[in-house]
Amino acid sequence: MVSDVATRPRAPRAAGRTRHRRSRGVWPRVWHFLSFGAPGVLIYVCFVLVPIAVSFGYSLTNYNPFNPPTRFVGLRNYQLMLQDDAFLTSLRITTILTAIVVIVPNVLGLGIAVLLDRRGWLYNALRGVFFTPMVLSSVVISVIWTRMLQDDGPVNQVLRALGVQDPPGWLSDPDIALYSLATVLCWQMLGFCVVIYLAGLSGVPKELMEAAAIDGAGPVRRFWRVTWPMLAPALTVNTVVLLISAFKIFDHVQVMTQGGPGTGSTATIAFLAIQTAFVDNHQGYASAEAVAMLVVIAALTAVSLAVLRRREIDQ
């Protein structure tokens, strides 16, 4: 009874306090959002969404800053693009480059991560070695590799020393230049894949591996049945990051080949868009190329994510 008396008058007060808390609870949340979330949102809106919207707007015009006036042309730029050999070639080049850069570092990165998934100073040092290209500027890497791959550069000097009479023109042969470029990109992205897979490997419970071993599973079976399914999230991250990085590649092309040798050898969509905008001055058309690139990247990323996430759930 005492307790009843004690609690009864408290009940409405408690309810009132809750209401008060709720009413007081909204504003701090708003303030917290404005103070912590707003800067990020504003930056994102200003530097991502607004430029994308402006680019899309330009892509519907014949905008050429050197040849006014600007007129609305609707979807004509997109129609022209689908018949433009230069754009279709750059789309093919970019797709080949992306396929190589998504597959090779993923496969090699997984293998190296498995080999480096041990304790000890040597393994720590090797992890650092593999990750170093990732932290270097793309321009620095491109300059270094351009020197390495020149006809009389270190790569061909080694080949000549090994008895190769006529080593390839790594950057001068239009049939090889794209693959040289892809190799450099793979080399740079390899460290990223290794680190992500190492993080994934560290999350594989030892108990599962031990249980599998007790059940008689050998190293290969343990990898495919236990480790590989547990690495599904790492595969998703690597694939999506590599896909986006490769599809919008520009700086390596600019420094190493400038889209050449000749026409249609290594000109990716991003490189072509810059050329169209600032050499040919067709900024409306270049905006259409950039929007097309964005749409393709978004579509490929969405499909990859859907497929890889389903795999994560299935596992």
Which long-range contacts does 295-301 make (Cβ < 8 Å, 24+ apart)? 296/91, 296/247, 296/269, 297/243, 297/244, 297/247, 297/248, 300/98, 300/243, 300/247, 301/240, 301/243, 301/244
Residue choice 146, 239, 245, 268 for contact with other proteins (CB under 8 A)? 146
The yes or no reply on residue 65 touching other proteins (CB under 8 A) is yes
Cα 70 from chain centre: 35
Least distance (Å) from other proteins to the CB of residue 169? 4
Q: DSSP assignment of 106-131, as one string? A: HHHHHHHHHHH-S-SHHHHHHHHHHH
Q: Which is nearer to other proteins, 94 or 283 (CB)?
A: 283
Q: Which is nearer to other proteins, 36 or 121 (CB)?
A: 36
Q: How many residues does the chain have?
A: 315
The yes or no reply on residue 275 touching other proteins (CB under 8 A) is yes
| Nearest in space to 277 (alpha carbons), one of 58, 53, 51, 49 | 58
Segment contacting other proteins by CB under 8 A, of 88-96, 143-151, 184-192, 242-250: 143-151
Find out whether the peptide bond into 219 is cis, omega within 30 degrees of 0.
Answer: no
Q: Which is nearer to other proteins, 58 or 130 (CB)?
A: 58
**Binding-site size, other proteins (CB under 8 A):** 44
Q: Which is nearer to other proteins, 91 or 267 (CB)?
A: 267
**51: its two tokens:** 């430029």
3-state helix, strand, coil in the chain (%, to 5): 75, 0, 25
Least distance (Å) from other proteins to the CB of residue 105? 24
**302: its two tokens:** 């969405």
Q: How far apart are CA 86 and CA 95, in angstroms?
A: 14
Tell me the torsion sign for CA atoms 33, 35, 37, 41: positive
Q: How far apart are CA 90 and CA 288, in angstroms?
A: 14
Residue choice 263, 298, 309, 315 for contact with other proteins (CB under 8 A)? 263
Considering only residues 172 through 191, tell me which ones interact with other proteins, judged by CB under 8 A. 172-174, 177
Segment contacting other proteins by CB under 8 A, of 118-126, 144-152, 190-198, 245-253: 144-152
Segment contacting other proteins by CB under 8 A, of 66-74, 104-112, 116-124, 241-249: 66-74
The yes or no reply on residue 21 touching other proteins (CB under 8 A) is no
Considering only residues 27 through 56, tell me which ones interact with other proteins, judged by CB under 8 A. 31-32, 34-35, 38-39, 42-43, 45-47, 50
Q: Which is nearer to other proteins, 130 or 170 (CB)?
A: 170
Q: Which is nearer to other proteins, 224 or 278 (CB)?
A: 278
Cα 89 from chain centre: 22
Segment contacting other proteins by CB under 8 A, of 5-13, 130-138, 252-260, 287-295: 252-260
The yes or no reply on residue 259 touching other proteins (CB under 8 A) is yes
Residue choice 261, 294, 296, 308 for contact with other proteins (CB under 8 A)? 261
| Nearest in space to 60 (alpha carbons), one of 283, 295, 301 | 283
Residues near other proteins, by CB under 8 A: 31-32, 34-35, 38-39, 42-43, 45-47, 50, 65-68, 146, 149-152, 169-174, 177, 254, 256-263, 275, 278-283
